């Protein structure tokens, strides 16, 4: 398997969650109410799986290695766009959390912000994933030897093994505050 393989597999799970988020946004628009617990679950998925685990491998490993390569101007521009898009996803998720807190605490007017954030994520992720799968990953593969690619793949696996401990160390630390 090439290093991009696990990243593309992760994209398929993210797409499945985005479909559920789209369903919840549509339901919120129709019924004028939303389940705050679903939002908590969606945020946890986005923050832990899509951002920290998936984007973490991209930023902390793939992009780090690519920064040591002489990328074409086009490839460097796309990598910079992807990094900016990761930041956009984080800020949208943060806004979703803030709106959900208000909504959960009885501010019915925050429902519009919750639904807007959900729809923004639904709009954002498929385009971001397509750019990575169809443009950036194939282009970036050309910068690595087979040995370098396999070393990244091994580092991805090591990264994944540490994630569960990072996640739940953070959960306990938050509860201890």
Q: Which CATH entry fits the domain spanning 4-167: 1.10.3720.10, 3.40.50.620, 3.30.2270.10, 1.20.120.520?
A: 1.20.120.520
Residue 104 Cα to chain centre, angstroms: 24
Structure tokens at 77: 């521009």
**pLDDT (0 to 100) of residue 154:** 96
Nearest to 139 by CA among 87, 86, 58, 72: 72
**pLDDT (0 to 100) of residue 37:** 95
**pLDDT (0 to 100) of residue 91:** 98
**pLDDT (0 to 100) of residue 163:** 84
Mean pLDDT estimate for the chain: 95
Task: Compute CA distances 80 → 3, 68, 150, whole Å.
Answer: 20, 14, 24
- By CB atoms closer than 10 A (0-12, 13-18, 19+), residue 160 is middle
- What are the residue ranges spanned by the domains of the chain? 4-167
pTM: 0.92
**pLDDT (0 to 100) of residue 165:** 85
């Amino acid at each position: 398997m090439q290093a991009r393989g696990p990243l593309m597999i992760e994209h398929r799970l993210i797409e499945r969650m985005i479909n559920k988020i789209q369903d919840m946004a549509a339901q919120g628009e129709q019924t004028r109410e939303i389940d705050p617990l679903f939002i908590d679950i969606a945020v946890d998925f986005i923050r832990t799986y899509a951002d920290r685990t998936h984007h973490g491998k991209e930023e902390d490993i793939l992009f780090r290695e690519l920064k040591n390569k002489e990328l074409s101007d086009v490839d460097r521009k796309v990598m910079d766009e992807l990094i900016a898009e990761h930041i956009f996803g984080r800020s949208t998720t943060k806004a979703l959390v803030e709106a959900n807190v208000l909504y959960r605490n009885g501010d019915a007017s925050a429902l519009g912000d919750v639904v807007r954030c959900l729809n923004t994520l639904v709009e954002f992720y498929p385009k971001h994933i397509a750019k990575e799968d169809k443009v950036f990953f194939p282009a970036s593969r050309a910068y690595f030897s087979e040995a370098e690619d396999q070393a990244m793949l091994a580092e991805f696996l090591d990264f994944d093994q540490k994630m569960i401990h990072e996640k739940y160390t953070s959960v306990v630390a938050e509860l201890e505050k």
